[in-house]
Every structure is written in structure tokens, then in C-alpha cells.
């Protein structure tokens, strides 16, 4: 009886070693690699710059679009007008910065 128990235990362990447990992980790894390659290619094709202006408006140069804005005096309320201009909405603003990007 003991011999049979040991035999079954060894058989179960051998079967577990033979089953490919990491097949899904290799597919995940391939997908992660493909996504990173795509994003790396994308990052190389975008050029960005910051435009600093006095007052509540900051506009991007021709051919560029606003991706984000920053406002002086800790103002966190802003909007983008016409895809090219940052507009800070607080009552007192001393500067506005727009982050402008374009494909290269």
C-alpha cells in the first residue's frame, strides 16, 4: 500500500511537470512586447514644446495642438480653445503655459 501511494505521488508530480503552465504567460509576453514596440514608434513621431505667455492666454505655433495647460497663482481651472490656445479661468492670472505637440 505504501509503495502504491509513493508511485501515485510521483506520477502526479511528473504529470504536473509535463503540463505547460506558462503557455498563457508567453502569449502575454508577446503582446506586451508588441504594444511596447508600437508605443515606442509613436513616441518617436511626436515633438512637443512648452509656450510661456503673460496673462490668461497662451497659443501654440502654427501646425501644433495643445495637449495640456498650466496657470500661475496655483490656478487649476483651464480650458483649450480651438485646439491651439490655453485659457486660464481663474480671476487672477499672471502667466499661462501651453504644452504644444505635433507629429514629426
Q: How far apart are CA 6 and CA 3, in angstroms?
A: 5
CA-to-CA separations, 40 to 12, 31, 43, 54, 103, in angstroms, rounded: 45, 14, 5, 35, 14
* pLDDT tens digits in sequence order for the chain, 104 residues long: 667 776 777 767 666 666 655 545 566 677 777 777 777 766 567 889 999 999 999 999 999 999 999 999 889 899 999 999 999 999 889 999 999 999 87
CA-to-CA separations, 31 to 26, 39, 40, 41, 45, in angstroms, rounded: 9, 12, 14, 15, 22
| Cβ-based neighbours of 101, under 8 Å, separated by 6 or more | 46, 47, 48, 49, 64, 65, 67
Fold for domain 46-103? Immunoglobulin-like (2.60.40)
Amino acid at each position: 500500500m505504501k509503495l502504491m501511494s509513493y508511485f501515485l505521488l510521483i506520477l502526479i508530480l511528473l504529470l504536473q511537470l509535463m503540463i505547460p503552465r506558462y503557455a498563457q504567460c508567453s502569449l502575454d509576453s508577446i503582446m506586451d512586447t508588441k504594444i511596447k514596440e508600437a508605443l515606442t514608434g509613436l513616441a518617436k513621431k511626436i515633438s512637443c514644446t512648452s509656450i510661456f505667455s503673460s496673462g490668461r492666454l497662451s497659443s501654440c505655433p502654427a501646425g501644433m495642438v495643445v495637449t495640456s495647460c498650466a496657470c500661475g497663482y496655483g490656478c487649476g481651472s483651464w480650458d483649450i480653445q480651438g485646439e491651439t490656445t490655453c485659457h486660464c479661468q481663474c480671476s487672477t492670472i499672471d502667466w499661462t503655459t501651453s504644452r504644444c505637440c505635433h507629429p514629426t
